[in-house]
Structure 1
């Protein structure tokens, strides 16, 4: 069993050395790095043992032990009884024999991503990196490769920042159902073992005070694992999934944030923490909206994380893939509201990325090559947009089809230009941007500026345009599948 004492002492020493202490007051001095606010688009990667059964979702490791669940029935029918073939027995099948980190990084760069966040450890407790804390990791088992380390090297070669995602805290209960009957989870275990601690699952996963509460031993183990990732890979982003908001975790969150921010300061680097559900005090890290977005512009920077597949974050044989055009519209909408998009792919167990994922990524990349100046490094305008289509506010809304029209516009600003982005190409080539009409004294002022010229990005021909009190009228013969970007030169 790994002795955590030395690492815990190091953590306290780094915190004591400042500039950040493990208090909300101290952490409130945090500021979001400019590179992150400029990047706008990143790639999330859910890849692990759960890609081997490729059934249901990335929660297979939990659900296969839940009696009468589809995963439980599938497991018994396909692999046998749980006491004879448990989740750990998928590890030798996770060979990743076609994993090419350079090819991944080149694809993500071609897609226009500026940062990449692989899942370092999912709820199942299998580390996708080399670790001294547990032998249950990809460098020693399964692929026998330091996946996170190799991706870090490849992403940096392709000009992208690397992050890491930890879902470890949910492991407190994630394998707990396996203790309810004769399965391999009931084998004797201690800290460092794969299934440990496999505690009973809370009745409500949103209960901040649910019992049994995570113990000091488990939380210290969680903290050391997170800090090991920071020290070994120096990620620019650390993403946390939900359940870190549990009351027992709060003191350890503050310790981690102080440690991570202090390490970044020591290295002359910068750090970002993504969180959900008010787990961090507002202003001490970057809030994240899972599979959804905000309906209105925000005065603070935020992130959406979503996936190309609607049904699962990891690879399954029946993933339901979203069209690239819908995701591009989401990206535009999110950026116009002061956010960024972290888009997930789920590779196959052999390390290849599905053709469906590739096609979506390449379409996004093609759009960004033409229109990226309206996205990268952009800032919000006085209003995010206009139009009849309303975006549902909040998480888990990405399955709701938005059906944007050519009357829906989003605005960004960059390098002295105003960008008006039509969310759908007009069938007749006619556009009217009402927010940019000429104002008179009787109307509430929206825009009193002078427009000198209008350009359609990706179109060789100049559009016809005029302004009146109804709006800015544009006529263009440009035809495209995604949003149409009008670049406005102002007087």
Structure 2
């Protein structure tokens, strides 16, 4: 509470501070607006959408308490994730937008191209010219998506074994990939001139998969702040509807909420709520994924309204999910997501990790490298054994094609799941998540710190009367010992899930000893179906 009051006090102080700025509105020059003036410039640029925004907010206010949830954190902490999500285990994340046109650095190119002394800034000037002549807005006409085939995408995701699909509806860059009635800067009105989210929703649901959306709108409040500090198109009021307030971001690091004194106006929070409600009402997502900045303390009173509105609507159709980053919500009010990282041990509440199939970026960039199917399958197995889901991201090219390497990796995962999915889907953790010498480093952004798994590493899941022991390597000599299975567990039968062949076994004081048949096709992970008498 003390930290929240400090944030609010600092925000009020920011409003009263102004830096003098002299600039012709038609010829941008370097300047810094006060937080209040920056917000007013954005409000003026989006004034024509005010009636629709207010109508949406009124609808939220009228219906947010229509159900078992109320718009307060105490009520929202009674949330639990729905069965469809707990059983799904594997989903596809999609980062696709205007940032796929420059295809350089990462999906944060939109921000970094306005940050001097970065590789993105230097690349932009060298390739496209100064930001006063060619800004981020000028990539929009080049974002044509001429080969975008939502039906083909959805079929690929189905073949990959995914059970839900979550495209980014709006990234930090403020360009909506859906047909928003609250902005003209949308894929339906510019660039592809297509409602990308709407088309994907229909295609994904046609494959029998659940459909979600990701909103990074909150971060857009400050995302283009670098362009305020020099001669760039961010300072041109004609483009304030795209570039937003571009508030001075006052965190020591971009993702540091504990040291973030960035000003957030009530108008911005209202717009965020209206745009989120618009997504809920127009596309009825089964899941909404939020990036970290909704955890900024100024959102604390706005979030409960959105959550109650969404959860109460979702309860009528089997339950919905909201993914949030650590510390953003009060515990229990949503489903925790660990970005590019994992948790250690079995978690009492269902959770999720998200990572990208590529190594450097979430969006498509030229020359990116990819994780192997083996690495990703091992990640999935480890996460599921701890009561979690894996949301795996891909980054399509600007023309709407998915890189061949990414497609082949997805198909390899799907092939493994087709054979071994009974040990993954609709399973629950066992009494132990696993055994062996290899354990992950817990926390966010730790996905490159885990050592390769060995044939001594097992992960466990259970379903009905079956225990699944998943070995993360083929043992030398075809002999394996599962130490976690004790003599009192009373094993009745063991078979290889991949081909149904029986496995010779013997229970000894140090565990279950297996004498394996020939190694089955596929070298990623090997599943033993173990029938127990109790």
Query: With structure 2 as the length reference, what TM-score do the two structures score?
Result: 0.88
Q: Does 1:34 align with 2:83?
A: yes
Which of these residues, 97, 121, 136, is aligned with residue 170 of structure 2? 121
Which of these residues, 111, 115, 129, is aligned with residue 160 of structure 2? 111
Partner Cα separation in structure 1 for residue 445 and residue 155 of structure 2? 30
Q: Does 1:420 align with 2:469?
A: yes
Partner Cα separation in structure 2 for residue 320 and residue 466 of structure 1? 44
2:523 match: 481
Partner Cα separation in structure 2 for residue 329 and residue 316 of structure 1? 25
Task: Give yes or no for contact 2:251–2:259 (8 Å, CA) kept in 1.
Answer: no
Give the 3-state SS of the residue equivalent to 1:104 in structure 2.
helix
Matches of residues 48-197 of structure 1 in structure 2 within 5 Å? Answer: 48-188=97-237, 193-197=241-245
Per-residue CA deviations over 1:333-365 (Å, capped at 9, x if unaligned) read 000000000000000000000011111101100
2:13 match: none
Which of these residues, 498, 502, 510, is aligned with residue 470 of structure 1? 510
Partner Cα separation in structure 1 for residue 428 and residue 262 of structure 2? 45
Task: Give yes or no for contact 2:65–2:308 (8 Å, CA) kept in 1.
Answer: no
1:199 match: 247
Partner Cα separation in structure 1 for residue 524 and residue 218 of structure 2? 39
Task: Give yes or no for contact 2:257–2:293 (8 Å, CA) kept in 1.
Answer: no
Per-residue CA deviations over 1:355-377 (Å, capped at 9, x if unaligned) read 11111101100000000000000
Matches of residues 310-459 of structure 1 in structure 2 within 5 Å? Answer: 310-438=359-487, 448-459=488-499
Give the paired residue count.
480
Partner Cα separation in structure 2 for residue 16 and residue 156 of structure 1? 28
Question: 1:10 offset after TM fit, Å?
Answer: 0.9
Question: 1:463 offset after TM fit, Å?
Answer: 2.0
Question: 1:278 offset after TM fit, Å?
Answer: 1.6
Per-residue CA deviations over 1:106-138 (Å, capped at 9, x if unaligned) read 000000000000000000000000010001011
Task: Give yes or no for contact 2:82–2:318 (8 Å, CA) kept in 1.
Answer: no
Partner Cα separation in structure 2 for residue 134 and residue 152 of structure 1? 20
Give the 3-state SS of the residue equivalent to 2:484 in structure 1.
helix
Question: 1:397 offset after TM fit, Å?
Answer: 1.1
1:254 match: 304
Partner Cα separation in structure 1 for residue 410 and residue 119 of structure 2? 31
Question: 1:324 offset after TM fit, Å?
Answer: 0.7
Partner Cα separation in structure 1 for residue 505 and residue 378 of structure 2? 24
Give the 3-state SS of the residue equivalent to 2:292 in structure 1.
coil
2:288 match: 238
Q: Does 1:2 align with 2:49?
A: yes
Partner Cα separation in structure 1 for residue 445 and residue 259 of structure 2? 24
Partner Cα separation in structure 2 for residue 306 and residue 484 of structure 1? 23
Task: Give yes or no for contact 1:189–1:196 (8 Å, CA) kept in 2.
Answer: no
Which of these residues, 311, 324, 329, is aligned with residue 280 of structure 1? 329
Give the 3-state SS of the residue equivalent to 2:295 in structure 1.
coil
Task: Give yes or no for contact 2:64–2:306 (8 Å, CA) kept in 1.
Answer: no
Question: 1:201 offset after TM fit, Å?
Answer: 1.4
Per-residue CA deviations over 1:116-172 (Å, capped at 9, x if unaligned) read 000000000000000100010111111111111111111111110000000010101
2:43 match: none
Question: 1:277 offset after TM fit, Å?
Answer: 2.2
Partner Cα separation in structure 2 for residue 189 and residue 421 of structure 1? 58
Partner Cα separation in structure 2 for residue 246 and residue 411 of structure 1? 38
Partner Cα separation in structure 1 for residue 138 and residue 121 of structure 2? 15
Give the 3-state SS of the residue equivalent to 1:397 in structure 2.
coil
Alignment RMSD, CA only?
1.3
Give the 3-state SS of the residue equivalent to 1:244 in structure 2.
helix
Deviates more, 1:23-32 or 1:102-111: 23-32
Q: Which has the higher helix share?
A: 2
Question: 1:413 offset after TM fit, Å?
Answer: 0.3
Partner Cα separation in structure 2 for residue 354 and residue 277 of structure 1? 32
Where do 5+ consecutive residues of structure 1 fail to align?
439-447
Question: 1:425 offset after TM fit, Å?
Answer: 1.6
2:276 match: 226
Question: 1:317 offset after TM fit, Å?
Answer: 0.4
Matches of residues 203-214 of structure 1 in structure 2 within 5 Å? Answer: 203-204=251-252, 205=254, 206-208=256-258, 210-214=260-264
Structure 2 CA distance for partners of 1:263 and 1:245, relative to 1, 3 Å:
same
Deviates more, 1:367-376 or 1:245-254: 245-254
Q: Does 1:217 align with 2:264?
A: no
Task: Give yes or no for contact 1:208–1:247 (8 Å, CA) kept in 2.
Answer: no
Per-residue CA deviations over 1:447-470 (Å, capped at 9, x if unaligned) read x22111100011353222111112
Task: Give yes or no for contact 1:209–1:247 (8 Å, CA) kept in 2.
Answer: no
Question: 1:77 offset after TM fit, Å?
Answer: 0.6
